[in-house]
Structures are given as structure tokens and as C-alpha cells.
Structure 1
Amino acid sequence: MKATYLMLRVSGPLLILSGQVTAQAAANLEVSQIKKVTDATQGGFRPFMEFSVAGQVMMGLLDTGSSDLTVPRTGSAFCKSAGQQCDGTTTGFKTGSFDPGNTGNLAKDLNVPLKATFTGGAGFTGRFIEALLQVVPNGISVPVQMGLVEGGGVPAGEVSFPVIGVGPVQGESTKKNYPNIPARFKQENSTKVNAFGLYLGDFRKYMQIFARLALFLLFQSLPRMSHFMSRPQLGLTTCLGSPDNGTLIWGGFDAAKIEGELKAAPLLRTQDNALPSYVVDFSSVRLQSAKASQSAQGQGRTTGRTKALFEADDSLPWSGQFRQRTSSSTGRSRVRAGSYEHLRLRVSKRDILRRQRDGNLLTNDAPPVALLDTGAPSLVLPLRTIESLGKSLGGRPGPQGEFLVDCARVSGMELVFGMNKDAIQVRVPLDSIMAAPEKGRGPSGGPGNDNSQRGDAQSFGGNTKGSYRNNNGGNDRGGNDGAGNDRGGNDGAGNDRGGNNRGANDRAGNGRAGNGGTLGTGGSGNTCKLELDPVEGDSPPVLGAPAMQHMYIVFDNDSEVLMIAQARPNEARSDVRPYVPSGRK
């Protein structure tokens, strides 16, 4: 089914949000559709966007954590390497590629080399070109500089895809900065401002759909679905209806998707006064019940003390400590916690304990900043904060350092993240950050691969150990570790981790996670994996896609500020308006 895109002419009265944002009448805005992919093969929490370069259509990861657009060249060594998704033969998910030979004179070689290496062992080479970019079919064509990937590859078990980097221009990988997509849109008068409004939408809806689809496929044969799956790059979410997609509004925002007010979080500069990333003040992490949060929100306050809500679950495996999985590392060469060391608060242990008694679990083993990064499929928090959350939820580290907890303890609980001295608070339900199923659907709506073999009706998808975001910023942006959880419901039908079932610790007939057993995400007695990773090295905390699905954010590069509000989940209404920063007419 062909994707449905929105290109709206909007008009309306003046709208004031927190004294910062106004809307003007009569403007043409382009609205890109965001397709939410939950397959662990791709990384679990992945926002993809369709775009075209010189008329050639591709699917790329929307990435606010990098600033370059990178695309693979058709027929290149890169498109023949393991993990490539240029043609869909490896995973069943076709992202596409670019053939400069089929553009006539629409692609220009800039004679600028592209070379990137990654800490996880990946790397690629190529060159920079300039070509016409469309972010909406039949929309405005804008000449944009981009990286054309020709060589290199990713480690075994990982996948690659085009990356649509929309971060600040100072985060680009080139020595000399150039106007990237948002900046070029303004430069070409396609937008009035270097800004865009982003609504990812709730990933949980698709996880529920995929679980129901898996049950349906138990009674259907895959060949009967072949026509339905004939265009993998469009994605199952598109086939099920574009109103359920997220949106990116170039030069505007959608007032209908906002709960409350948009509030300002100024972008923070590094110690050398650079602005390479969307990094803001990070002031608190609270764990509370959703009911308590709703009550507190109604009274205009946060809840108080956070205590150990559950006893530790001794049936879960203990591996010593939580640790960040190699394949989900979000460290970037230009975004280093050390660069923000000048912002670190000198807080005593007594003050930290006092803060925790007041409900704030944020510790000072990393600077109090957060990178807002759609390319990160997890939340990366200070290690001691992760440990405090583990104690409060009765969770334990798994064999690979992942955050495991009894699924029953997740229900009705949420994290509340405070930014800009808690002027902004965003609620994130824990059941919305549970790991995506490893043996789930292919992101295209079609069967993926298990060790390069087509999946069966029950697995219906890929089963690799993670994914890799190949941007040009020197990042190792992996996906999820191979221990994904099946959204199987009460029967605990998760991914078998191999080895022996911990039968003595079974609950409700479900195996526990260990050297063997089963990870589930739905029923009582199952073990859930939450997408929580600890900060490692000098990288900053990261609020990735699992948290950003609950935010509406206007990325205002002109004013060097993010306007953030709680997002309305699964909101079908739309009220698209141009964005005009405060102080402008």
C-alpha cells in the first residue's frame, strides 16, 4: 500500500504557548511521516522516514543525534557487505540506495572525501555530493550536501541504513561546516526558520499490533501475505494507516499533539563554546506510579519520596552490575561528557542522599545534561541512577548487563524526567520502554531473517543481535542487544536465550531469564527487559527514542533552544501551525 503523506496549507489565529511560540496565518508547510519500527533487528525503537534524492526513493533513520545525511551508493562494496539493507536481501527490510549515474546532472561531486571509523568496529568510506532532496513526495526539492557511502561495513550481526541527520551544523563530520537539511530549508526559503516540530508517537501501539498479527499468522500461510509484503521499505505501520505515524513538520509544529504548554530548554554549549548537539539541562529522574503522577500534575507539583517499591527478585540472574551493551552504545566522538564538565554540580554525598529522599534519583556520576537523540534506541542514565532504579523496582542486571525486572512490577509505573531545573517534566510509562521483540515482525511487515534464513509464521521476523546506525559523525550507534523480548502476552512466549530452563524459578509456567529460559513482556511472572543503559566513559546521558515518544519538541536552531511539552499519545487530530520564535513578528 502506498504511503499517505500530508502537505497542509494551514491558517489560524494567534497561538501563544508559554510565552515563547506564536503562529501566523497562511503558510505552506511540509509534513514528513515518521514510521515507527519496533523490530529488534533494526534496534527496537527506530523512527524511519521516507525521502528521495534526485527522484530515487529511500528509507532512512531520523536522527537528531547527528547532523549529516548519508546514503549508500547502489552497487558499491558497501551494498554488498554483510548487514547491508540496500536491496532487502539480508533482512527483508529494503532501505534503498542511490545511483548517481541515473540522475543526469542532478548530482554534483564535491570532491570532499568521506571517511569514518567507529569504536564498535564499523567503518565506511566514500565522498560528499550535492543533490536535490525531497522530504515529502511531490514536495519542494532542495539542493543538499550529503555523504555517499561506497566502502566499509558493519560488524557481524548488525545492520546499516541511511541516516537523516538533522542536528546542529557544528555536529557535522566535515572540517568545514555546511548548511545541512534544516539550515538549507531556511536558506532556500522553504521555511522561515531553521526549526522543525517532532512528534514520534507511542511505539506501544505497534507492539500490540504485532502481537495480534503474530497470532493471526498462526492460522495463515506466509505465501498468502506475499502481495501485502511486496514493498518492504514502506513498512507495516504505513499499511495499517498513516494517521498512526509520527510527524516532522518543517518550520512548524502541531498544536493538537501537545499536552499543556511548550516550555523552553536552552541548548548548552560545550566547554570550548561549541554547539554540536541538542544537549539541555537534566535536573531530575523520578520513579512513581502513574496515579500519583496524575494527582501531582493536577496539583501542579511533583511527587515526593521515592522508596524501594519492591523486594529484589532473587530468581533473576545476577551478573555483578548493569552495563551498557556494546551494540547499543550511543557514544559520539563530538558529544563527550567531558566537554560539559564545566556544568557538573559539586554535590556532596549527603546532598545526593537528601535529593534521593525527596524523590530525585539523578546522581552526579555524569554531568547534569541530556542529549535528545532519536537515533538512540534506549535511555542512557548515570550508573548509580540505574542502580537506584533497580533497587526501587526489584530489578537485577541480566547476563549481558541488561536491566531485567518482573513484568508485573512495570505495570502502572512511570519515570518522570526533569529538564531546565525541572521547569519541564515529561512522564514516560515503564511499559513503553520495554525492549522490542527479537523474534518479532520484520520492520517492513514481512518476514525477516534468522541467521539469514526466512522466518516462520511464529517468529515472523529477524533475529540478529542488534542494529547499527552508520552516520558520519564517528558514532557507534548500535541497536538492541540480541536478548529481545517477545510480546507474547500471558503465555510468556518470549525469545529463548538457549541453554537450560530455570524450572525451579518458573512462575505461572514461564521460564525465567538466565543462561537459558524465556524472556516475556506481557504476563504475570514474566521477566521484562527495560531499555535502560548506564553512561560509560565520558559520554553524556541520553534521552533516546523510548523517552522522546512522549515528548513534543520544537528544535529551534535559530534561537538555540528546544521547546518541549508532554505529547498526547496516539493523537489523531492535527492542528499544524508555523513556528515563529519569541521576539519575532
Structure 2
Amino acid sequence: MRTTDLLARLPGPLLVLSGYATAEEGAQLEISQIKKVTDPSQGGYRPFMEFSVAGQSILGLLDTGSSDLVVPRTGSDYCKLPAQECDGLATGFKAGSFDPSKSNNQVKDVNDALNASFTGGATIQGKFIEAPLQVSPQGKPVTVQMGLVETGSLLPGDVGFPVIGLGPVQGESTPKNYPNIPARFKQDNSTKVNAYGLYLGDFRSPDNGTLIWGGFDAAKFEGELKAAPLVKTSGGDLPSFVVDFSSVRVARANAKPDGNRTVNGPGCTGGGGGGHGGQSRPRSEADSNDHLPADFQRRSIFARKNLNSYKPDSYDHTRQQLSTRNILRRQRNGNLLTNDAPPVAWLDTGVGEIVLPTGTLDGIGESLGARPGPQGEFMVDCGRIKGMELVFGMNKDAVQVRVPLDSIIAAPRPETGPGAPGGPGGPTGSTGPDNARQPENDRGNGNNRNNGGNRGDGGNRGNGSNSRAGRNRGNRGNGRDGHNRGNGGNGGNGGNGGNGDNGRDGRNGGSGGPPGAGRGANTCQLALAPVQGNGPTDIPVLGAPAMQSMYIVFDMDSQALMIAQAKLNETKSDVRPYVPAGKR
């Protein structure tokens, strides 16, 4: 999984875009290539980036939802765990590890312990160190602080790849903040700003995405970058890339983003739902609190640290007091955003789903004639999503981004496990190549909901007692067990996608993919999930499936995200240094 780097040398002035970006004479920017992984055994919708610590090459999850660089030590007890990915022997995926003894004395102990506990019981222990980091093979080494993991325990479904946390410094896992990678790059004059431009690109494409340190690529987006200011917590902190969330719409691909109606909006169930009968929407958490993890994707334990430091962050102060009449009026105008979660959104590459308020998810389900899988999966007739988009509005709709529904189809999980029903035409009960991206039931064993599926314990995004790690989405790893995917069922039948009454009772039909969503019905699972709980820290998340349709400059100097519609699969490049508007 080797990636390559680019070094952009800009000879002179290029362009000013809306007063926020200019080119500088002789500027040079490092560009890291992003390798996109859709293998469900690694969590699906995963952006990875190669980096090196003291000359040792490592592959890590690019994570805008956490703020620390964390790697396991080579030969440590942690690298001997069954699901470790230090050497690739356990899972077939080699992420790598770091050996301080081979660093030529370039490592410094900063005397801060790494001692993390996680919702569900997983733990890691180690220490924080300083060592030279290169974000591209030809780049300048910059000494940064990082966590070095020595020991720990993993839960079923957890994996242990390194994480490159690029969130704000206030989201770090230590009581005392330190300059993390973007902040340190500015401090070291490797960049002029604490900012970086991110282009994930279409996860269906083999082409790499790019991360431009201190700059952006004007060829990769449509129109202009528009500002979405970061939203502070009730305590006045900025621990995460959270912005105002103003609208969610279902629209046809060529419709205007600010159209005033949905397609088959609430109350119009439509057809083509493949045997769902009278109940068309995936009721998700409202139907079953015991069988729905918030994130069915597998996560690295490192990306969900829960260190005991502060109280959980709250965004409850952003809630709007809307009457039922006002909500219904808004829905009639096409905006499906409901009032059952704070109206903010976390832009987080480390989340493999789009997490929306339950009422909003219900409205989308009604619009598309969707139905739930046995554990709350969002299942829909594949034909219903062709040419359809979700349109997300931020900063009072000053920013609007279109996300094609066929770009967020969850991929099937390939490996087998106890309880996975068999099927006649492919691994783990799949029925062959007819619908290559049609998913298995990746939510796994719903009993893991408090293990990593849920975004914290008791409605908090961490475990109730701490916030520094609570910011990092609670137990980020064990969103699924993966061993009970088939839920029994009668896996080979495939033709009976649900029992026709409500689409949930399909355990005697189904195909080995999700029971209740037969392959013969050409059913697709979308990477959509509900916000768990109704606490002040339970908020929507626009994860990697949504962010692939965005070009984003993460600008901590201006405390804002600059967002535009990404050009999917764009191969041209026009790299420019980024300068915040107030600093021109």
C-alpha cells in the first residue's frame, strides 16, 4: 500500500479566490497522497496515508476526528494481539509500527503517560514521545509529539492500525495541549498557516486523494470555497471540526441544491422497496435499541481514545426551539433536518458512515421507499437511488454539498464467521458478482452497541467521565462483531427480501447478505446511520462517505472550514498556498 508524494513548486502569483487565497513567490508545498480503502474488513470508506517516523515507513488512518498521532511500538505486547496490524500476519493488512531502537537517537521521551480506557473495556498503555515525522518521502522532517503504544487489549472486531489525528489541538488526548501535526508544521515554518486542503475523491475510483499542507488544489472543486465557521462547545472550546448544520434534502442529480421539495417526501412511501409492504422506512434506533451500533464499520482502537481528563463536550446550546408545526413546514419545503439532535455536524474522515438524526433518517427512508435490515441497516432498492443525491446545507445553507447516493453504497464484507449464512454464489452468503457493492450485514452483532457502536456511554461521545477522549467518538472500534452477520437466517434463499409486511421479518429469506434484504430484490445498503441517544454530545457526523464529495480546507487560524463541491475523479491539479482572508 505504498503511496507517493508530490512537491509543488509555485513560481509566482496565481489567483485570489473570494479574498482568502493567494499564491506566494517561491512557495513550495508538500502534498501527501491518500490511499482509499473500501475493504469492509478494514472498516470500508477508509482514507489511509503513508508517513515515516525517524525514517520508518508506517501507514495510518487519516483522521480529522481525532487530534493525536498514535502508533504501536515494534515488538510490543500490543503488536502480538490477535487483531494487530503491525506486521500484517494477523489480518492481512500491514499498517506498520515504530521501533525506537532503530531511530539513531532521534526519539525523546516527553514524560507523559499514554493510558487510555474505552467504552466496552478495551485499553491501551504507553507513553508520549517526540520524533521526526515526514508526511511524504521527499518532505522535510519535523519533530512532533505522538503516542507510542506498548500494551493493551482489543475487543472482538477491533483492529490496531495507527492513526494520524489532524483535529484541533483542543481535541488532544492529554490534559495539557501540545502542537499537533498541523500546528507544529506552522510553528516550524513548514507551512505559513495551520491549515490543510483535503480531497478524498470518489471511493469507487482507484485514484488517490490528496492532502496539501498549507495549501489547496483549485482544480479539484467547483465554484468557490465558502466558509463554515467552527461551532464552540458550551464550554467555549473548539475540540472538533463541528459546524452549523442547517438542512438535509433528497434531490435528483440535476436539481438545484436549494430546491423546495423532496422527491417522495415524508408521507410518500413510493414503490420499488422490494417487499417492504406497508412499512417503508428504517426506524433504526426507534425500533430496536439493543441491535444497532452507531457505526457498523470496523475502527482502529487508536482513533477512539478515552483518557480521563475533562467532562464531555456539549453542543446542546445550539438546539433550536421549533414547534411541530414549524418542523412540518420545513419538511414540506424539502428540508428533512429534524430537531432530535443539536443542529451541528462533525466532519470526520474517521467515521465510515453519515450519521443523521433519527427523524431525518426516517424522512430520507420515506423519500426512497427504504426499509430496515434486521439490525437497523438502511436498505433500499438500488433502482431508487439512481440519479438521486443527498444535499447537505451548512452555515445556514451558505454552504451546500451534493452527495450522490450511489457513491455511499456500503461494500460487502468478504470474510466468514460463525452465524454467517451460506449462499450459493459467493463468500459469506453473497450471491456472486451481480451487485458487487451490495453489502453484507456489516452491523454485525447488535449486542456490541455499547462496545464501539455507540458514540459513548449513556449518550456521551466518550465515556461519560471524560471529554478529551470523549470527543473522539467513544469506542471507535467495535462497531460490529462481524461474527454474527447473518443472524442465522436461511442464507441461500435470496429471493424473499423480507416478509412483505414490514420488511424487518426477513430472517427466513434473505441471502446471506442482510436477511430481509434479498439479493433478488437488487437491494443496496447505504452508509447511513442514526445519531445514538439524545444527549447534548450526540450530534450528526458527516463522515468519509459524505466528505468524498467535498473539497475542504481545514483552517484553524480562522477557526473555519472552507468547503466546496468536489469534482469527483478529477485528475488535473492546480496547487496554491492558502492564505486566510484576514491575513492577506
Relative to the length of structure 2, the TM-score reads 0.81
RMSD: 3.3
Evaluate the alpha carbon distance shift between residue 313 and residue 126 of structure 1 in structure 2; reply closer, same or farther with a 3 A threshold. same
Residue 250 of structure 1 corresponds to which residue in structure 2?
A: 213
Kept after mapping to 1: 8 A contact 2:555/2:561: yes
- Residue identity opposite 1:97 in structure 2: S
Residue 302 of structure 1 corresponds to which residue in structure 2?
A: 259
Match of 1:315 among 271, 275, 287: 275
Distance 1:38 1:402 in 2: 18
Residue 107 of structure 2 corresponds to which residue in structure 1?
A: 107
Kept after mapping to 2: 8 A contact 1:67/1:171: yes
Match of 1:505 among 476, 484, 496: 496
Residue 126 of structure 1 corresponds to which residue in structure 2?
A: 126
Distance 1:154 1:561 in 2: 36
Residue 574 of structure 2 corresponds to which residue in structure 1?
A: 575
Number of aligned positions between the proteins: 515
Evaluate the alpha carbon distance shift between residue 541 and residue 478 of structure 1 in structure 2; reply closer, same or farther with a 3 A threshold. same
Residue 163 of structure 2 corresponds to which residue in structure 1?
A: 163
Residue 408 of structure 2 corresponds to which residue in structure 1?
A: 433
Range moving further from structure 2, 24-33 or 353-362: 24-33
Q: Alpha-carbon deviation of 1:25?
A: 3.4
Evaluate the alpha carbon distance shift between residue 540 and residue 517 of structure 1 in structure 2; reply closer, same or farther with a 3 A threshold. same
Superposed, which structure 2 residues align to 1:448-467 within 5 Å?
459=427
Distance 2:390 2:79 in 1: 40
Q: Alpha-carbon deviation of 1:479?
A: 7.0
Evaluate the alpha carbon distance shift between residue 62 and residue 42 of structure 1 in structure 2; reply closer, same or farther with a 3 A threshold. same
Distance 1:284 1:522 in 2: 32
SS in 2 for 1:387: helix
- Residue identity opposite 1:99 in structure 2: D
Distance 1:14 1:184 in 2: 27
Are 1:263 and 2:226 matched, yes or no? yes
Distance 1:91 1:254 in 2: 35
Residue 557 of structure 2 corresponds to which residue in structure 1?
A: 558
Q: Alpha-carbon deviation of 1:481?
A: 4.2
Are 1:281 and 2:244 matched, yes or no? yes
Q: Alpha-carbon deviation of 1:400?
A: 1.1
Are 1:369 and 2:344 matched, yes or no? yes
Residue 409 of structure 1 corresponds to which residue in structure 2?
A: 384
- Residue identity opposite 2:552 in structure 1: I
Q: Alpha-carbon deviation of 1:75?
A: 1.1
Residue 153 of structure 1 corresponds to which residue in structure 2?
A: 153
Kept after mapping to 2: 8 A contact 1:44/1:480: no
Evaluate the alpha carbon distance shift between residue 190 and residue 503 of structure 1 in structure 2; reply closer, same or farther with a 3 A threshold. closer
C-alpha offsets along residues 100-122 of structure 1, whole Å, 9 cap, x if unaligned?
11113111111111011111432
C-alpha offsets along residues 138-179 of structure 1, whole Å, 9 cap, x if unaligned?
211000000001111321132121000000000001010000
Kept after mapping to 2: 8 A contact 1:67/1:168: yes
Distance 1:5 1:458 in 2: 37
Kept after mapping to 2: 8 A contact 1:157/1:465: no
Distance 2:374 2:114 in 1: 38
Residue 419 of structure 1 corresponds to which residue in structure 2?
A: 394
SS in 1 for 2:406: helix
C-alpha offsets along residues 11-65 of structure 1, whole Å, 9 cap, x if unaligned?
3534232333333332110000000000001111100000010111110000000
Kept after mapping to 2: 8 A contact 1:43/1:480: no
Q: Alpha-carbon deviation of 1:302?
A: 2.9
Q: Which runs of 5+ in 1 are unaligned?
A: 206-236, 238-243, 440-447, 452-456, 485-494
Evaluate the alpha carbon distance shift between residue 336 and residue 254 of structure 1 in structure 2; reply closer, same or farther with a 3 A threshold. farther
Superposed, which structure 2 residues align to 1:18-417 within 5 Å?
18-205=18-205, 237=206, 244-291=207-254, 293=255, 296=256, 301-306=258-263, 307=265, 308=268, 310-311=270-271, 313=273, 315-316=275-276, 321-323=283-285, 324-325=292-293, 328=296, 339-417=314-392
Q: Alpha-carbon deviation of 1:564?
A: 0.2
Distance 1:250 1:499 in 2: 49
Relative to the length of structure 1, the TM-score reads 0.81
Kept after mapping to 2: 8 A contact 1:116/1:123: yes
Distance 2:212 2:368 in 1: 38
Q: Alpha-carbon deviation of 1:335?
A: 11
C-alpha offsets along residues 454-509 of structure 1, whole Å, 9 cap, x if unaligned?
xxx9659999977989x99353123764779xxxxxxxxxx9665315566369xx
Distance 2:568 2:20 in 1: 23
Are 1:517 and 2:510 matched, yes or no? yes
Residue 529 of structure 2 corresponds to which residue in structure 1?
A: 533
SS in 2 for 1:21: coil
Distance 1:38 1:67 in 2: 23
SS in 2 for 1:356: helix
Distance 2:12 2:25 in 1: 5
Q: Alpha-carbon deviation of 1:67?
A: 0.3
Evaluate the alpha carbon distance shift between residue 83 and residue 180 of structure 1 in structure 2; reply closer, same or farther with a 3 A threshold. same
- Residue identity opposite 1:535 in structure 2: V
- Residue identity opposite 2:127 in structure 1: R
Q: Alpha-carbon deviation of 1:432?
A: 0.8
Evaluate the alpha carbon distance shift between residue 77 and residue 478 of structure 1 in structure 2; reply closer, same or farther with a 3 A threshold. same
- Residue identity opposite 2:356 in structure 1: L
- Residue identity opposite 1:526 in structure 2: N
Evaluate the alpha carbon distance shift between residue 202 and residue 482 of structure 1 in structure 2; reply closer, same or farther with a 3 A threshold. farther
SS in 1 for 2:330: helix
SS in 1 for 2:314: helix
Evaluate the alpha carbon distance shift between residue 194 and residue 529 of structure 1 in structure 2; reply closer, same or farther with a 3 A threshold. same
Kept after mapping to 2: 8 A contact 1:267/1:560: yes
Residue 541 of structure 2 corresponds to which residue in structure 1?
A: 542
Evaluate the alpha carbon distance shift between residue 11 and residue 328 of structure 1 in structure 2; reply closer, same or farther with a 3 A threshold. farther
Kept after mapping to 1: 8 A contact 2:31/2:136: yes
Evaluate the alpha carbon distance shift between residue 449 and residue 178 of structure 1 in structure 2; reply closer, same or farther with a 3 A threshold. farther
Residue 10 of structure 1 corresponds to which residue in structure 2?
A: 10
Kept after mapping to 2: 8 A contact 1:29/1:251: yes
Evaluate the alpha carbon distance shift between residue 110 and residue 432 of structure 1 in structure 2; reply closer, same or farther with a 3 A threshold. same
Distance 2:95 2:452 in 1: 13
Distance 1:165 1:175 in 2: 16
SS in 2 for 1:260: strand
SS in 2 for 1:422: coil
Evaluate the alpha carbon distance shift between residue 25 and residue 328 of structure 1 in structure 2; reply closer, same or farther with a 3 A threshold. farther
C-alpha offsets along residues 541-568 of structure 1, whole Å, 9 cap, x if unaligned?
1000000000000000111011000000
Distance 2:488 2:95 in 1: 31
Distance 2:128 2:416 in 1: 32
Kept after mapping to 2: 8 A contact 1:312/1:391: no
- Residue identity opposite 1:304 in structure 2: R
SS in 1 for 2:284: coil
SS in 2 for 1:41: helix
Evaluate the alpha carbon distance shift between residue 515 and residue 529 of structure 1 in structure 2; reply closer, same or farther with a 3 A threshold. farther
SS in 2 for 1:505: coil
Evaluate the alpha carbon distance shift between residue 516 and residue 24 of structure 1 in structure 2; reply closer, same or farther with a 3 A threshold. farther
- Residue identity opposite 2:545 in structure 1: P
SS in 2 for 1:185: helix
Distance 1:135 1:367 in 2: 36
Distance 1:400 1:355 in 2: 30
- Residue identity opposite 2:186 in structure 1: K
Percent identity between matched residues is 59
Distance 2:408 2:482 in 1: 15
Distance 1:523 1:258 in 2: 36
SS in 2 for 1:22: coil
Kept after mapping to 1: 8 A contact 2:296/2:443: no
